[in-house]
Amino acid sequence: MSIMPNDIETRLLEAAPAGIQFRAATDDKSVATAWCTLASSDNLLSVGLLLKRMGARLSTITVFQPKAAAVPKPKEGEEPLPLPTFLGGTPQDGKTYEIDYHFDIDGDTLTVTAHVAAGGSIDSLTPLYRAADWPERELMELYALVVRDHPNPQRLFIDPSIDNAVFERLIPYSTLVNSAASKSIWEKIMAQTGAPS
């Protein structure tokens, strides 16, 4: 049975005065799934606080860069069309980060979505939800997104010697495994044994 409160949309809007986009659905097993997009990522903390008071548990955080919106080429003499934006005006340029916070409310799932333009930052939810600690540390190493006021912004999985934002860069396998391609291995062998005659 779904336990998501009926007035959740109203409560979310109160916590996020910049505006929200909300939709919810219940499946044939009565499990509810709701999606709330914030117009401003600055409202994240107050929404997080509201959900904390409702007894929500933070399941996890997803981050990615949605691909750029397709804009038709302008005809000759016409001004290029502006890029479409996400709710709140963040451009759909392929660089903007979408951050999805998946909350569990006794079995139902509410996903709160915030958009942050490239080079931007977002508040840490870790002071409110201890379970945000590891996901936020992980997202900082996978993307160049900065989490403000994270209490322990250490690397989680990726070695500190590797630059961050690994999901934003193509890393050749040979670089990743530190053998820097077979060429350098042969150069090393030849340095030891001498070049073939």
Binding-site member from 7, 29, 73, 191 for other proteins (CB under 8 A): 29
Give 44's DSSP letter. H
Residue 6 CB, shortest distance to other proteins, in Å, is 19
Distance CA 181, CA 192 (A): 18
Instruction: Kindly list the distances between the CA atom of residue 167 and the CA atoms of 12, 17, 36, 155, 187, in Å, as whole numbers in the listed order.
Output: 31, 33, 25, 15, 30
Which two structure tokens, joined as six digits, stand for 122?
């977002």
Binding-site member from 100, 117, 153, 174 for other proteins (CB under 8 A): 100
Binding-site member from 9, 13, 54, 66 for other proteins (CB under 8 A): 66
Apex CA 52: angle with CA 50 and CA 54, to 5°? 75
Residue 109 CB, shortest distance to other proteins, in Å, is 5
Which two structure tokens, joined as six digits, stand for 12?
């979310």
Interface segment toward other proteins; rule CB under 8 A; list 4-12, 42-50, 74-82, 129-137: 129-137
**Nearest Cα to 20, choosing from 51, 62, 64, 58?**
51
Interface segment toward other proteins; rule CB under 8 A; list 12-20, 81-89, 155-163, 189-197: 155-163
**Nearest Cα to 102, choosing from 34, 1, 4, 2?**
34
Nearer to other proteins, 31 or 50 (CB): 31
> Could you list the residues that contact other proteins (CB under 8 A)?
27-29, 31, 33, 35, 57-60, 62, 64, 66-67, 100, 102, 104, 106-109, 111, 129-131, 133-135, 142, 155-159, 166-167
